[in-house]
């Protein structure tokens, strides 16, 4: 699969409608049920336009996840930038996780649909690995900057800490999105306690 940045330019209002329609379709129907016919109809564009931009459903899925990842990292980066101590850093991550599950469960469903597809499709697996690497490297860079600024101490390399934190967040999000009516304040508190084994005050 070509990298997401190598495909045709997909900026603009129509492109965003296509991405949003695929995102919603996968959350409702799953990957298998999200055909170009469904997405084109819901986005209000021609099926030919989808093929022109993406060529395959997998490329469209990768673009949806790429945009989601960039948006989520942007929000997290902004919150981390405001954190003045280790507790603030951990609070920023827990708040971001809570907002994701409460306000954007479609993003969680989409990620795991693509993850499942990647187990059967080498091209999708390669693209997903790139996207996950960007998430890890972005968070690692933010944590390293806080460490270098004397805000916190990391008990492992920034990349390793970021990988564990993302795995923790992804796993909790998967469980919580399937129980939207539960009060999971205790779960998020336990998540903070777990993070303290990797992130400490100076």
pLDDT in tens, 83-102: 999 999 999 999 999 998 88
Q: In angstroms, rounded to a whole number, what is the distance separating the alpha carbons of residues 20 and 56?
A: 16
Q: 162 and 140 in contact (C-beta within 8 Å)? A: yes
Q: Tell me what pLDDT residue 112 has.
A: 84
Q: Residue 83: which region, alpha, beta or left (left: phi > 0; alpha: psi -120 to 50)?
A: beta
Residue 11 is predicted with a pLDDT of 62
The pLDDT assigned to 7 comes to: 46
Give the pLDDT confidence of 180-193 residue by residue, as tens digits. Answer: 888 888 999 999 99
Q: What angle do CA 44, 49, 52 make, to 5 degrees?
A: 160
Return d(Cα 75, Cα 68) in angstroms, integer.
Answer: 11
Structure confidence by residue, pLDDT tens digits, 18-69: 999 998 898 788 888 899 999 999 999 999 988 888 888 888 888 887 887 7
> Which is nearest to 140 in space by CA: 82, 84, 76, 45?
76
At 3, the pLDDT band (50, 70, 90 cuts) reads very low
> CB of 153 within 8 A of CB of 201?
yes
Closest CA to 43 of 68, 21, 11, 74: 21
Note the pLDDT of residue 95: 93
Distance between CA 105 and CA 41 in Å, rounded?
A: 23
- Tally the residues of the chain: 202
pLDDT computed for residue 1 by the predictor: 40
pLDDT in tens, 67-88: 877 888 888 889 999 999 999 9
Residue 62 CB-density burial (10 A; 0-12 exposed, 13-18 middle, 19+ buried): buried
Quick one: tokens of 20?
């949003």
Is 70 exceeded by the pLDDT of residue 10? no
Say if residues 73 and 100 touch (Cβ distance below 8 Å): no
Residue 110's pLDDT band, with cuts at 50, 70 and 90, is confident
Closest CA to 7 of 55, 45, 71: 55
pLDDT tens for residues 131-141?
889 889 999 99
Work out the number of other CB atoms within 10 angstroms of the CB of residue 181: 4
Q: What is the DSSP letter of 149?
A: T
pLDDT tens digits for range 157-177: 999 999 999 999 999 998 898
Domains and CATH numbers, the chain: 4-201 (1.10.357.10)
Question: Are 164 and 139 a contacting pair, CB within 8 Å?
Answer: no
């Amino acid at each position: 699969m070509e990298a997401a940045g190598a495909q045709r330019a997909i900026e603009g209002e129509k492109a965003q409608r296509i991405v949003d329609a695929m995102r919603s379709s996968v959350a409702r129907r799953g990957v298998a049920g999200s055909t170009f016919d469904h997405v084109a109809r819901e986005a209000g564009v021609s099926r030919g336009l989808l093929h022109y931009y993406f060529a395959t459903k997998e490329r469209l899925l990768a673009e949806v996840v790429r945009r989601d990842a960039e948006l989520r990292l942007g929000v997290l980066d902004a919150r981390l930038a405001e954190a003045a101590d280790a507790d603030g850093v951990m609070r920023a991550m827990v708040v971001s996780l809570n907002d994701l599950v409460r306000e954007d469960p479609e993003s969680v469903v989409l990620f795991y649909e693509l993850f499942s597809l990647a187990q059967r499709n080498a091209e999708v697996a390669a693209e997903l690995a790139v996207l996950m690497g960007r998430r890890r490297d972005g968070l690692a860079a933010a944590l390293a900057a806080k460490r270098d600024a004397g805000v916190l101490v990391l008990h492992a390399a920034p990349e390793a800490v970021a990988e564990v934190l993302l795995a923790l967040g992804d796993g909790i999000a998967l469980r919580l999105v399937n129980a939207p009516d539960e009060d999971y304040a205790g779960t998020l508190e336990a998540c903070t306690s777990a993070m303290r084994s990797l992130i400490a005050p100076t």
